[in-house]
Structure 1
Amino acid sequence: MPARALIVHWRLPLALALLCLLAQWPDLAPYLRYERIAILQGEVWRLLSAHLTHLSVGHLALNLLGLALIWQIFGEGFSQRQWLLILVLIFLGISLGLLVLYPQVQWYVGLSGSLHGLFVAGALAQWRRGNWLGPVLLAGLALKLVREQWMGPLAGSIALTGGPVLTQAHLLGAIAGLLVAAPILSGQRR
């Protein structure tokens, strides 16, 4: 792939990574994270910005590594505009899901729920193209999500992220990815 095409292909995840790095600014981060009370009082930007902030540098690095892997595997599944729409709607799906379905969750940060949604969208695109890997990956992710909802976060997750892991965000992200990507894919020709 020529250098220009490579840059174009990676511009969305690179822009997202840059936004995540900027959101770590100590004076800015507290105003960006998901905080239930603040959102209910009108700070609606937190519905989107919460996914850019992270608990620690390790949490951020882990999420950006996940983003790079997902993009490497699935990046060509949708156009850049479609991916951007999918990402924004996943952000909103997770945040609104937390707000409505999990009122006990007072705060949240991180990209991991969104990564689950991007994974689902990408695997659906693979499946739509007739690639057998799509349904296999979806089945594996479904098993992981069921395990997390039943038994909690995977061992070592807290040590890697520097704090609690909100498995509900992973589930909401996967559901949002499915609900957003399926109509886009059904509108595309094979």
Structure 2
Amino acid sequence: MLNILQYIFQFCKQNVIPFALILPALCISIAGDSLIIPMRYDREAIFSGEIWRLITGNLAHLGWPHLLMNLASLMLIWMLFGKTLSTLTWAIVALVSSLFVTVGLMLFSPMTGWYVGLSGMLHGLFIAGVFANIANGYKLEYLLLVAVFAKLFWEQWYGPLPGSESLAGGSVVVNSHLYGAIAGLIAGIYIWITHKTTTLNIS
């Protein structure tokens, strides 16, 4: 019994970030519109003082298909890169990416009145993870970087990827992906430079 409890504790400790995103997102979706509406990014409400929406807007979703699609993406990102960075570093990247998404929408996308979803933040996590692996010598990640930048280019020029809106169950705010990706790029470059500097100092 003790071994099982120790295993559960270690599992939770190693996966704090996914749990910290999944649990509140699930709670908001279970509550439905009674919680989704006061939690979502809402431009006018934020200007009226409801600043929590800058964070919680990333955790609210259009519906269960939208939520499950984003949670599947989160788990894939975690499987690929979860062990690459410390829990604290991931927490900082997640927070910064979240704020880049919502503050970016406020400053540069004034026509977007409201927004929900993890996808913008996930772009930040993905790109930061790719850079962390590149810093550790993984060459295949360059292809992943090219792929995500190609996706962002497509979305900015042609709109959402075919089928993405039907999967999500509503409109896709592609600028959220761009703003999250910018946060991930900044974090990723910082991670890469820090790793290289540390490596040079050790050698």
Say which is worse superposed, 179-188 or 90-99, in terms of deviation: 179-188
Counterpart Cα distance in 2 of 1:148 and 1:55: 20
Aligned to 2:168: 161
Aligned to 1:109: 116
Aligned to 1:90: 97
TM-score when normalising by structure 1:
0.94
Letter in 2 for 1:33: R
Counterpart Cα distance in 2 of 1:128 and 1:184: 8
Q: Within the alignment, does 1:11 sit opposite 2:12 as a pair?
A: no
Aligned to 2:28: 23
CA distances 1:58-113 after superposition (whole Å, capped 9, x unpaired): 00000000000000001112100110011001000111111001111100000011
Counterpart Cα distance in 1 of 2:15 and 2:72: 13
- Following superposition, the deviation at residue 5 of structure 1 comes to 3.9
Aligned to 1:35: 42
- Following superposition, the deviation at residue 186 of structure 1 comes to 2.4
CA distances 1:108-128 after superposition (whole Å, capped 9, x unpaired): 000011111111000000111
CA distances 1:24-71 after superposition (whole Å, capped 9, x unpaired): 212211111000001111111100000000001000000000000000
Which stretches of structure 1, 4 residues or longer, exceed 6 Å deviation after superposition? Answer: none
Letter in 2 for 1:22: C
RMSD: 1.4
Structure 2: segments with no counterpart, 5+ residues: 1-5
User: Structure 2 matches for 1:1-190, cutoff 5 A?
Assistant: 3=7, 4-24=9-29, 25-26=31-32, 27-188=34-195, 189-190=198-199
Match of 1:44, SS state, is: coil
- Following superposition, the deviation at residue 158 of structure 1 comes to 1.3
Match of 1:55, SS state, is: coil
Which of 1 and 2 has greater Rg?
A: 2
- Following superposition, the deviation at residue 16 of structure 1 comes to 1.0
Counterpart Cα distance in 1 of 2:137 and 2:80: 15
TM-score when normalising by structure 2:
0.89
Q: How many residues align?
A: 189
- Percent identical across equivalent pairs? 41
- Following superposition, the deviation at residue 7 of structure 1 comes to 3.1
- Following superposition, the deviation at residue 181 of structure 1 comes to 3.2
Structure 1: segments with no counterpart, 5+ residues: none
* Equivalent pair of 1:86/1:181 in contact (CA under 8 Å): no
Match of 2:142, SS state, is: helix
